[in-house]
A and B are shown apart, each in its own frame.
Chain A
């Protein structure tokens, strides 16, 4: 039975000065992964000795496993530890990885090797033996429940004065990708400092607002807010240019199809979680989609699809994009 180490345990090892000689860092949350890697780099080897004792290999360009072993078996110089980081281990050939297996079984105590892989194939001997011996550390993406508290905590750490609503809005726009969330928080901090941050400030700065615009647009359309939807459309086209029109048609069609499916699933009393899977959307979006599904009649959805089909035809035969889209909004 394999036991996985959590990122927090790695930090405990680090702070207690008991780093293990081997780790396999993997998973989608590369932001968290890099943060911990940075802390290890800072603390494991003193700055004055880093040039001699920290080595980085990259699996991408065809690394020789012999070089990794040589580096691992060298004694630290002017420091108690050596640190070796092997990036993109999943790109190293399986046969080369097997050469490393004997080392995994009896590693050198003074060296800490961290293998970094985004999607390791655990059917391979090397990765499976790493996992079996408890060296694997999984960096999971934030869950919906964790995301908003995480944003709040990161913002507070930065010294940002951000409201809960704004955090929710940011989460709604970006989702659970911690790196993207953090970058946006950093930008907000640089722009506004300690000033109060609400939803408008996020809309102004976030690069993800464009994807969110389609949601807003759909919301307005389903509430039959013609004036507002025209305004949103124009703002979007102004920022993105006329070429964005096809994208809008595509995204609106997708949205309407999703609402259609959600209506169907609603009538079958499918749980939100399953619905997210079946619709192929992140779980935090389902609530919003259900809200829209309640406001739409099936015949209106059909009409909207038909109008979109016509608008698509007009666009592809070279009509003026803004005009066609506006006419669609007014006819719906």
Chain B
């Protein structure tokens, strides 16, 4: 007997065998049982999910004289003829090759005759969206005045290409892609019957490649079995299907998170020597960082297709990196994909990208750079004019003492320092002392925050420190619109409180107060440096609120305040 491919051998013959489409099969069975059959059905959905199979089973079920209602017996003449494809009353037409009006006219002619031996004359038109518009119009007439003995079943992968006039006259069912677990379970059943020893991990890899299509999954299983024989090990599957070894992906993500560039280079070497496609590897790496990020943001939503052990490792790595860093890495990877794809030396680009990612901790995102620039600009403007032109340190020296010099210095030096030294420079034992109250405590706290979240650090730098006591931290909002509104959201306040608790090792209430009046003076100084003296001379005499508005007007129109 000639070999029959798995997809054909295991094609479902009763509704029960159809996987993942219970919402449709159950409805159809009930329709047969209650005798409420529509005259036309349209089955839409992606390839390999069971549209044509369900159409055939349905045709058998409504014409079968022996089986129970809704269950074809697969033994009677009608059932056998349909299975073999030579039934007179059930015609399967390929819409792609019989797409013209002539073929449909022919169909309409034949539809007028009563079925020869069965209850209904059934036309199954596969790929119905391929029909021409005149052919659809011809079909529409039959659908509008359908002979009672005729049933139409249309199957298509592209329902949207079928005219709405046809769609509205059919009972429409949309087939879904089949869930990974269901494909794995079915493949397990098949391999068991076929006497093939293959593990769940290997089957999961096959199922993932099939992207929800059972036929694809079965074909891939066929491919694997014909290469590896009756015993398939987990290592063989990636090799046969050209899937990249997960171990390498985990190794590279872990190296990137830890900032270990040499390990990254070693991984690239392995990828290259094993003959993997570099672009494919890059894609897998992007998917890995996506998984890392998703595992932190939506752990409950079951959005990661992985074994339990892989999931644990993902979670471990993700927690080590933190959301912010993962987001930056993923953004970076996506933005660099083009460079890799169009490069003549993808390996070089991959190496360069990975090395850059390892040192990414020292780089700020574009937003951060913009914020930092705005911050520096503000700092420069707030200095008295005579300090300009001094050495950099003097310029960065805070004229008012709320921003600690230590932090700024630390920040300036940072790009030079290696990633391997953790940014958390503060000694936990020394700094969490309750003696660290007041300004010093605030400075150390800022330093601590900088190691935890660059974003929050940048924001907090823009805030004014007011007081720090045993159980209260009082800060006033800064001048920047963005940073001053940052703590309006509860979760941001909670995050700050949490950092306080971790750092000071006690519960500290964070009190947020309005900007101190002093900052208005600061603004004045800035204005003086920026636009000249004219504005401040006048504004001294005005109340602070009016002064602010007046300054904004002057700034906008580059004008001058004329005293009355």
**Contact present for B145 and A56 (CB under 8 Å):** yes
A15 in contact (CB, < 8 A):
no
Known: A241-B177, A330-B293. A227 touches B298 (CB 8 A): yes
**Contact present for A191 and B298 (CB under 8 Å):** no
Known: A183-B171, A190-B31. A234 touches B303 (CB 8 A): yes
Chain B binding surface SS class: helix
**Contact present for A320 and B301 (CB under 8 Å):** no
Interface residue tally for chain A (C-beta within 8 Å)? 38
A205 in contact (CB, < 8 A):
yes
Binds A, one of B9-17, B229-237, B268-276, B283-291: B283-291
Known: A319-B337, A323-B334, A326-B290. A186 touches B171 (CB 8 A): yes
* Closest residue of A by beta carbon distance from B323: A330
With beta carbons under 8 angstroms apart, the residue of B212, B287, B298 that contacts A238 is B212
In A192-224, the 8 Å CB interface with B consists of: 193, 204-205, 207, 210
Provide the residues of chain A in CB contact with B176, threshold 8 Å.
Answer: 238-239
Which of the listed residues A231, A234, A324, A330 has the most CB atoms from chain B within 10 Å of its own CB?
Answer: A330
Known: A60-B137, A320-B283, A327-B334. A193 touches B177 (CB 8 A): no
A43 in contact (CB, < 8 A):
no
In A288-318, the 8 Å CB interface with B consists of: 314, 317-318
Q: Give the total number of A-B pairs whose CB atoms are below 8 A apart.
A: 93
**Contact present for B283 and A230 (CB under 8 Å):** no
In A230-277, the 8 Å CB interface with B consists of: 230-231, 234, 238-239, 241
Cβ of A242 to closest chain B Cβ, rounded Å: 8
* Closest residue of B by beta carbon distance from A58: B141
In B161-176, the 8 Å CB interface with A consists of: 168, 171-174, 176
Q: Give Cα distance in the complex from A219 to B320, angstroms.
A: 32
Binds A, one of B22-30, B85-93, B190-198, B430-438: B22-30
Q: Give Cα distance in the complex from A230 to B287, angstroms.
A: 14
Q: Give Cα distance in the complex from A227 to B294, angstroms.
A: 8
Which of the listed residues A191, A226, A314 has the most CB atoms from chain B within 10 Å of its own CB?
Answer: A191
Cβ of A117 to closest chain B Cβ, rounded Å: 14
**Contact present for A323 and B301 (CB under 8 Å):** no
Provide the residues of chain B in CB contact with A324, threshold 8 Å.
Answer: 334
Provide the residues of chain B in CB contact with A230, threshold 8 Å.
Answer: 294, 297-298, 301, 303
Known: A238-B212, A320-B283. A227 touches B27 (CB 8 A): no
B368 in contact (CB, < 8 A):
no
Q: Give Cα distance in the complex from A332 to B85, angstroms.
A: 53
* Closest residue of B by beta carbon distance from A85: B145
Provide the residues of chain B in CB contact with A241, threshold 8 Å.
Answer: 46, 177, 211
With beta carbons under 8 angstroms apart, the residue of B27, B46, B172, B300 that contacts A207 is B172
Known: A56-B145, A331-B331. A326 touches B294 (CB 8 A): yes
**Contact present for B177 and A207 (CB under 8 Å):** no
**Contact present for B168 and A191 (CB under 8 Å):** no
13 residue pairs A–B, Cβ–Cβ below 8 Å: A56-B145, A58-B141, A177-B168, A183-B168, A191-B26, A228-B298, A231-B303, A320-B286, A323-B286, A323-B287, A326-B290, A327-B331, A330-B297
> A230-B301, A323-B287, A330-B327 are known contacts; what are 19 more A-B pairs with Cβ within 8 Å?
A30-B168, A56-B145, A58-B141, A60-B137, A60-B141, A186-B36, A186-B38, A191-B23, A193-B30, A230-B298, A238-B176, A241-B46, A314-B334, A318-B341, A319-B338, A320-B286, A323-B290, A327-B290, A330-B330
